Amino acid sequence: MTAALQHPQSARLRRSCPWLWASILGLGLTACAPADLGPNANLGWLEASSPKQLQVDRAEYRHAIYFDTDRANISGVEQDRLLTYLASVQPSARDTIRLEGHADERASDLYNLELAGRRAEAVAAFLRRHGYTNLTVTTSSYGEAVPAVAGTGAEVWRQNRRVELVLERSLVTLPGCPDWSRKSGTDFANLPHSNFGCATQANLGLMVADPRDLVSGRTLGPADGVQQAEGIVRYRTGKVIELQKEKVGN
C-alpha cells in the first residue's frame, strides 16, 4: 500500500476525488479489522488444552473375619471365607490393606485392646503365609470402642469379635470417547474440537501402572544398571525376544 501512495496517478486521484479515496481507505481498514467473536473477543487466541480429563477415585473393599470368644486364631471356616475374598479382589502391590481389630464388651478396656491387636496381627500373618508379601499392610486395635452392632447378647458379641480388612484401591475413570458432540470444521472462536485429547487421555488411563501416579508423582528409585546393560547386550548379539502375536477380533 505504501508503494501505491507514491505513484503519480495515485496522487492526482487523491487531489481530484478525495471522497473516493477516503471510501477506498475505509473499506481497506474494515477488511483488515478482526471479526467480533462475542464475549471472548478481547481475550485473543484461546489455549487449546485438552478438555478431556481422567478421574481417579479411591475405592474400598471390606471383609470381616470373625473370631471365637477370647481367641485370636482364625478358624477354618473364616480362613476359607478370607481366601475366597482375596481371590475375588486379587490384591496387588498397588493396593493398601488396613486391618482393624475389634473385641466384644465382656472384658476390661485394656484387655480388649490387647486381644483385638492380636487378632489383627493374626490376619496379617495369614496374608504373609499365603504369599501376599508385596502389599502395604497396617494394623490397628480398637478394642470394644467401635462395635459393629449395638446392644448385648450372644449374637451381638459374635458380630463384634472381628477384624475389619479394608483394601483400598485407586481406580481410573476414562473420559467419554469418542466425543462428536460438536461439528468438525472451521471454528473462528479457536475452541478445541470436542473429540480433542480423547485418544491420548484414554490410552494414558489404560496404560498407567499405578493410578495414584496421576494424582501425585513418586520419587524415581535407583536404576538397575545390570539389567539395562543385559538388554543392550541382547540387542547387539541378536538375542532380542520376539513379540507375541496377538489375535485380532472379528
Q: Which domains does the chain have, with CATH numbers?
A: 58-167 (3.30.1330.60)
Query: Which of 101, 170, 96, 172 shows the shortest CA–CA distance to 135?
Result: 96
Q: Determine whether 107 is exposed, middle or buried from the number of CB atoms within 10 Å of its CB (0-12, 13-18, 19+).
A: middle
Query: Which of 110, 19, 127 shows the shortest CA–CA distance to 65?
Result: 127
How many alpha carbons lie under 13 Å from residue 89 in its C-beta half-sphere?
Answer: 24
Which pLDDT tens digits describe the chain residue by residue (250 residues)? 444 444 555 555 455 555 554 555 454 444 444 444 444 444 444 444 556 888 898 999 999 999 999 999 999 999 999 999 999 999 988 899 999 999 999 999 999 999 999 999 999 999 999 999 989 999 999 999 999 999 999 999 999 999 999 999 999 988 888 888 877 777 777 777 788 888 888 888 888 888 888 888 778 778 788 888 888 888 888 887 777 776 655 4
Single-letter residue type at 38 = G
